[in-house]
Amino acid sequence: MKISLAKSSPLSQTNFTYGVATAAFQIEGAAESRRPCIWDKFCATPDKIKDSSNGLEACDHFNRWEQDLALIESLEVDAYRFSVSWPRVITHSGELDPKGVAFYVELLDALNQKNIKPYVTLYHWDLPQHLEDKGGWLNRETAYHFRDYVDLITQAFGDRVYSYSTLNEPFCSAYLGYELGIHAPGLKSKAFGKQAAHHLLLAHGLGMQVLAKNSPETLNGIVLNVSPCYPKTDSEKDKKAAWAADQNLNHWYAMPVLEGRYPESINTLPEEELPPIQQGDMAIICQPLDYLGLNYYTREVYEGVGHNDRQKWVDESLPFTEMGWEVYPLGLTDILLQLNNKYTLPPVYITENGAAMADSYAEGQVQDTDRIEYFQGHLQAVSDAAEQGVDIRGYFAWSLMDNFEWAEGYEKRFGIVYVDYDTQQRTIKASGLAYRDFISSRQLAKSA
């Protein structure tokens, strides 16, 4: 089975960037050579991770990065998006850790030698535990610690990086980590969610100011997760529920970053849930972006319940991934068009898109045709949005390889490369081969 788009599609042109993506805690392992992060403590807490696993070894990428880089090269991608582990490169006293820095410098140098553009995420959820002990993202000072970390690490990396993102999915860090408690650090309070979100956004703004000074030549931006929020019916109750969800998920982060203000739903919050905005904060948060990274996996459908509440509704007739997420490519086109109509967007990159499927390893192969269909549908959805005027410059498959899937542990496999966790053997899945062939056929079509 192949992945293909029309030759006239903007996504079929050689100046469109294709990549694969990972995150430090999910793949690196080698926990003994870094300081603990909030996910280490969360994993050690009973009943938080479904298979009771942790990230101490993960994919052992820290020790196998050269092998993994060869895999990335064999996939013929233009770019590799990965994150820096804050607790690996910064000591408790706030200084650079030479061994941690050296690991990333070596990786960056090797990527550049192979003409693979490094897209570096500066924060992908692994807050140093010693900062969480002081309040974590509930503490305004954490945003300034982030600024200092960004200052040091960008100086250390010099001109090796093609693109930086400050944060990956601050919605998940704040809402899942501090409001619902299903991600690290596992706190549960509506007030905490908005407090953490504000300090994360402040960290983004402070980080962007540092990037403008230290690394003005790189593409600098932020990565947000987005899902279109539809009402189940045309009833006012359902439409109100979908509107509230849309404000909370999509615009609570996009609007401050792009326009320097929170969405109007802020007026519906009780006083104790309001973000702790200080004078000048919104101007700091709203820095010029070279690009906006968007992660998309599924849509959300809502119905209104009770006096003023909402719940998700699921169409059981549609296909689902192993995460229980509906496969709905049209949602990606819709959210791109919605955002493009609402905001003056910088160039957009789809920084994550992919699916956990029930992969079966047999005779050295993984025939994941369902994942190939997922990529086909979603690449077409991106193409449709691009043809309707959204300035989209790149697409990153999530993920390069199977890895530690946060609260799901190792049971959910998102990779286009299969990982045998007993042996750490890697095997490119059929989807990885299809993705490679699609990328290389685009090159061949252009040069023919």
DSSP code per residue over 421-443: TTTTEEEE-HHHHHHHHHHHHHH
Domain boundaries, position 78: 10-440
- pLDDT (tens place) for every residue of the chain, 448 residues total: 999 999 999 999 999 999 999 999 999 999 999 999 999 999 999 999 999 999 999 999 999 999 999 999 999 999 999 999 999 999 999 999 999 999 999 999 999 999 999 999 999 999 999 999 999 999 999 999 999 999 999 999 999 999 999 999 999 999 999 999 999 999 999 999 999 999 999 999 999 999 999 999 999 999 999 999 999 999 999 999 999 999 999 999 999 999 999 999 999 999 999 999 999 999 999 999 999 999 999 999 999 998 889 999 999 999 999 999 999 999 999 999 999 999 999 999 999 999 999 999 999 999 999 999 999 999 999 999 999 999 999 999 999 999 999 999 999 999 999 999 999 999 999 999 999 999 999 855 454 4
398 is in an annotated binding site: yes
- Burial label, 57 (beta-carbon count in 10 A; 0-12, 13-18, 19+): middle
In a domain? residue 406: yes
Based on the structure, what is the number of domains in the chain?
A: 1
271 known ligand binder:
no
The answer to whether residue 324 is domain-embedded is: yes
* Residue of 28, 132, 169, 179 marked catalytic: 169
**pTM higher than 0.95 for the full model?**
yes
b/e map 122-160, b = 16+ CB within 10 Å: bbbbbbbbebbeeebbbbbebbebbbebbbbbbebbeeb
State how far the alpha carbon of 281 is from the alpha carbons of 150, 204, 277, in Å: 19, 11, 6
296 a known binding residue?
no
Does residue 352 have an active-site annotation? yes
392, part of any domain:
yes
CATH at residue 30: 3.20.20.80
Residue 448 falls inside a structural domain:
no
- Residue 363 in any domain: the answer is yes
Q: Tell whether 255 is covered by a domain.
A: yes
Residue at 293 is within a domain: yes
Q: How far apart are the first and last CA of the chain?
A: 23
Q: Residue 405: which of 116, 183, 77 has the closest Cα? A: 183
Catalytically annotated residue among 300, 326, 352, 373: 352
Residue 26 annotated as part of some ligand binding site: yes
CB 17 within 8 A of CB 79: yes
446 belongs to a structural domain: no
Residue 95 near residue 57 (C-beta atoms within 8 A): no
Reply yes or no on whether 141 is catalytic. no
Per DSSP, the three-state class of 280 is coil
Q: Is 168 labelled as part of a ligand binding site?
A: yes
Q: Within 13 Å and on the Cβ side, how many CA atoms surround 176?
A: 16
